Structures are given as structure tokens and as C-alpha cells.
Structure 1
Amino acid sequence: MNRLKIMVASTLLTLTTLLAPAAKAQEAVDTVAQIKEAGVLKVGMADSVPAQQKNPVTGEWEGFNVDMAKNLAEVLEVKLEIVDTTWSTIIPSLVQKQFDIAMVDMFRTPARAVTVDFTDSYMTTGNTWLVGADVDVTDWKQLNDPKYSAVSIAGMAAVAQSDRLLPEAQKKVIVSDNAVAGQLEVAAGRASAHLSDLLQNALFMKANPNAKVKVLGADAPIEATGYSYAVRPGDYHFHAFLNTWIAYTNTTGFISQTKLKWYGIE
């Protein structure tokens, strides 16, 4: 009998060990349920005109992703709370649960995906090089020379991309909450070039027609990729819900209408 009891106990222990991972997986947090229970959707945002920025007069957030966040909160039937952050801290702040989702014009890259989960892309775009008007190049590859300097904003995907595309050029990384700080560095002659989203560069030139800058390859953006929203890893329900919501806003035309409103293009 003692031997039988030992065998039964051993079997139960084995089953418990095997079932433990499954039980742990079932205990995964459900952000959708938490948001509904709290009655508030917390969204992290960092300045980037016209995707999301604070109105200098009212101090209120506005822009493409602000309208998207408002729509998402309406779908969830909760209030919207926008949490101020910066490009250099937005991912760490998301991981530290300071907000539920990062809704900015963020490129979905493998380096970032190591830390966070990305939704499906809500918009596809690509980068172009903004250079000083006196920079004597016609192709961005000519910038790969020690006599030229490329400026990037800390926290942006363009930091690593600039290093990879222009390994021979001088590099300058600045910390700033101003989304067009890189463009301003070039316009002021403190850097030769800045790699940024083609929409951002086009809008900067439109807003600053007298700036001594030009865009290289506007008709052929570099490594076109998608803008996506970021969430904490492992919350499969929230992730699936967001992808369904993005697909729905595309189908109904809400994304194209909002893009036309803020970017001037569909």
C-alpha cells in the first residue's frame, strides 16, 4: 500500500507540474476588461505634428492619433485620458504600466518588438532625407561621407536607421520633445541631413517655405513601413481587439477621413 501511495503521489505531482504553465497562461491580464472596469482608456502620447501635438493656445492634445484615440474610447464606451510622455521614454513608460497603449506615429521595427507588441499598421509610409539647401548631393547615398553629418532625435527609429544607411557620415543624436527638432537643426545649418517620415518632412517644408532645406527622393521613400500602436506583450485579447478595431476603422473610412483632415491626403 505504501508503494501504491507513493506512485499516486508521484503521478499527481507530475500532472500538477505539467498543468502549471497552462494555468499561468489562463491568468494572463485582460486589459480590455480592466479598461472597462476602470471606465478610462489611458493613452500615452509624445509630440509629433500633425499626428499628435498639444495646441499651444488651449494646451489640449489634437491631431490624427488624438482623433483615433477618441474613437477607440467611444468604441470601448469609456473616457479618454491622454498621458504626456516623450519619444525617449514612451516604451519604458508603457512597460511600466503608466498607460494602456502608446498611440503615436511609431514605426513597427524588430528592435522595438523585442520589448512591446505591435498592432497591425494603421498607415504605411517611409522615410526621406531632409538636407540643407547648400548640400551638394542629388542622391541620399552621397551623404555617406565623413564630411556630412546626420542628426537624429533620441528614441526615434531613425537613429539606428541613420547609422545603418550612412555608416561613414558623422552622427549627432539630440534629446528633444520637439518632433521637428531634427529638421530645425538642418535648417539652422547645424547638421547636413535628417532622416524623417516623408509626411513630416513635407509638412515641415510647407510650414516653413523660407527654410533653406530640400528633400531627397520624395517620390521614392526609403524602406517604406507601417505606423502601428504599441501594447505590453502577452495581452492577446487586447491585441486582437485593437487589430479588429483598426480593420473596422479602415473599412468604414474613418482612417482615410482623419488622414485627410490632418495630413491633407487620403
Structure 2
Amino acid sequence: MKRVLCLLAMLATLVLLVACGQQPANQGQAPAKQDINVRLELSKGSALERIMQRGTLRVGLEAGYMPFEMTDKRGNIVGFDVDMVTEMAKAMGVKLELVNTAWDGIIPALLSDKFDIIASGMTINQERNLKINFADPYIIVGQTVLVNAADADRINSWKDLNAEGVTVTSKLGTTGEQAVRRMMPKATYKSFETESEAMLEVLNGKATASVYDLPMLAIFYAERGKAGGMKFLDEPFTYEPLGWAINKGDPDFLNWLNNFLRQTKNDGRYEAIYNKWFGSNDWLQDVQ
């Protein structure tokens, strides 16, 4: 009888708690956790939404890769990539913020939300794609070779660089460096912080050749290499598509970027920007 009375008392207490809007502790925790998870999911969203709310498109790049991004005489960052993201910001109706970042830290900076997108002549490859996503390629380049004057007669192909006694230079952390290590293992490799340093090493006769992207070597050869007796092997020996990089898990932003690229290639904007930077060397006088 006492047991029945105790059970009735407990039941009455439970009914009273429910009537007063209270819940036992173990029942109240789960909904709160669910609410937090929902709020977290909503706060993530797409980078595109955050860009629109912020009113600014933040672009990560390293100014020093001609003609994609570089600093002019007035201290402004200019180039092919800069013009493309300027059009991108216009299409979004937001302001543009360029975040100049050292190349070896540019992917970590994207992952830690220092900016929304990388637009810095970045080659799409499988290693990078494990960490970040790429939009469709906006231009195709490849590795080429610039040979010093002393070795111009004996180096006729990139294959000739894969030999002992040969010293090859490139920029640290680039696909040029990867190509040398992978395809020229017998050569001595020297890495540099900038492309210019790597090419000057060859011009000054301290290295046999420099391996780097076609546009950059073509510019250096036209400016200084040809007069210095260097040889330019201008046929790319690698296939390297360049693409804009964003954080993973954002299909909305990726979709927008691909549609933006498709639109600019069909309405004349892309062609005009391409011809400005690759169809003429007039811009060189403003960056020297």
C-alpha cells in the first residue's frame, strides 16, 4: 500500500512539473543541443552569403607573379587576376579587398577565413585539391625553361636538364619546383623565395636553367634574357590549368564562380582583360 501511495505521489509531482512548464533535466538537454546544432548550421551557410552580408569580397593573392598580380609604380596591385576579381566584385555588387599574402601561407590563410577566395595564378592539382576546391580553369599555362648563355648550345629540351652537373632553379612551393623534383631528379635543384631571384641566378651564370610558368619566363626573356644571350624553350612540357580556389563544402559559391566565368567568356569581358595583359607588353612600363 505504501508503495502504491509513493508511486501516486511521484506521478502527481510529475504532472505538476509539466503543468508549470518544467521538464526533468535529462529531457530538457536534448532539444537545447539540437537548437545549437541548427544555429551552427545556419551560421555556416555559403561564403557567397557572407560576402553579400559583409558587402566586401576578400581576395587572397601574392603580388609578384606577372602578369597575373604585381605592384605598379604607385604601389597598387594590378594584373590579370586583379581585373577578373574586380569584375567579380562588380557582378556581386560589393567592394573588393585584396589581401596580399605570402605564397607558402596562402592556403592556410584561406582555411582560416582570412579571405573568401584565392585568385593568384594557382595551378589546379590533386595535392591542393585535397584541402580546397577549385572553380573551372580560367586559363591554361605550363612549365617552360630559360637557359643561361653559357649552356644555350647544349640544352635543347627540358630532358637535357635531367643530368648530373646541371643546376636548375625555381620558386619555392610552386608547380615549377614540383616539376623539377619529379622530372629532373639527377639535377641539382635550388629554390628561391621569388621568381625573379630564380631567373637572375641563371642570368648571372650561377645556374644552368630556370623552370617556371610560361607567362613569367616569357616576360623575363623579353626584358633581359634575350639581350643577355639566354635561350628560351617556350614550348610547355606540363599541362597546368589555373583556377580560383575556395573552401570545401560550398557548392553555391562554386556554382556562382563557374557561371561568372562562363558569362565573362561569352560577353567579351574576359577577352578584353586577356588581351590587355597577354596581348601587349604596354603595361610593363607601369610596373618597372
TM-score bracket for this pair, using the shorter chain length: 0.7 to 0.9
Look up the SS of the partner of 1:134 in the other structure.
Answer: helix
The residue that corresponds to 2:94 in the other structure is 78
Alignment correspondent of 1:202: 218
Aligned partners of 1:211 and 1:118: how far apart in 2? 39
Q: Which of 48, 52, 71 is 2:65 aligned to?
A: 48
Q: Corresponding residue for 1:92?
A: 108
1:142 to 156, 160, 163: 160
The structural deviation recorded for 1:233 is 1.1
Work out whether 1:251 is the aligned partner of 2:266. yes
SS at 1:191's partner residue? coil
Residues 168 and 208 in structure 2, CA contact (< 8 A), matched pair in contact too: yes
Deviation at 1:155, TM superposition (A): 2.0
Q: 3-state SS of the aligned residue for 1:145?
A: coil
CA distance in 2 between partners of 1:158 and 1:198 (Å): 10
Contact kept in structure 1, 2:170 and 2:176, CA below 8 Å? yes
Asked if the contact 1:48/1:180 (under 8 Å) is kept, the reply is no
1:257, CA displacement in angstroms? 1.4
- Residue in 1 aligned with 2:54? 38
1:239 pairs with one of 254, 258, 276:
254
Unaligned regions of 5+ residues in structure 2, if any? 1-30, 281-288
The secondary structure found in structure 1 opposite 2:110 is: helix
**Partner Cα distance (2:112, 2:230) in 1:** 39
Is 2:193 the partner of 1:175?
yes
Query: Does the CA-based 8 Å contact 2:67-2:215 persist in structure 1?
Result: no
Instruction: Give the greater-gyration-radius structure (CA).
Output: 2
SS at match of 1:237: helix
Letter in 2 for 1:234: G
The aligned residue for residue 229 of structure 1 is 244
Task: Kindly state the Cα deviation for residue 26 of structure 1 after the two structures are TM-superposed.
Answer: 6.1
Once residues 95 and 214 of structure 2 are traced to their aligned partners in structure 1, the CA distance between those partners, rounded to angstroms, is: 33
How many residue pairs align between the two structures?
241
Residues in 1 aligned to 2:197 and 2:39: alpha-carbon distance in whole angstroms: 45
| TM-score, scaled to structure 1 | 0.85
Q: Does 1:262 align with 2:277?
A: yes
Alignment pair present for 1:122 and 2:138: yes
Change (3 A) 1:23 1:165: farther
Paired AA for residue 183 in structure 1: M
Instruction: Find the residue that maps to 2:243 and give its secondary structure.
Output: strand
One-letter code of the match for 1:131? V
- The separation in 2 between residues aligned to 1:161 and 1:126, in whole angstroms, is 10
Match for residue 191 of structure 1? 207
Q: Is the 8 A contact 1:123 1:226 kept in 2?
A: yes
CA distance in 1 between counterparts of 2:106 and 2:139 reads: 20
**Counterpart residue type for residue 181 of structure 2:** D
TM-score, length-scaled by structure 2:
0.78
Distance change >3 Å, CA 248–CA 164, structure 1 → 2: same
Q: Percent identity?
A: 29
Measure how far apart 1:225 and its partner are.
2.3
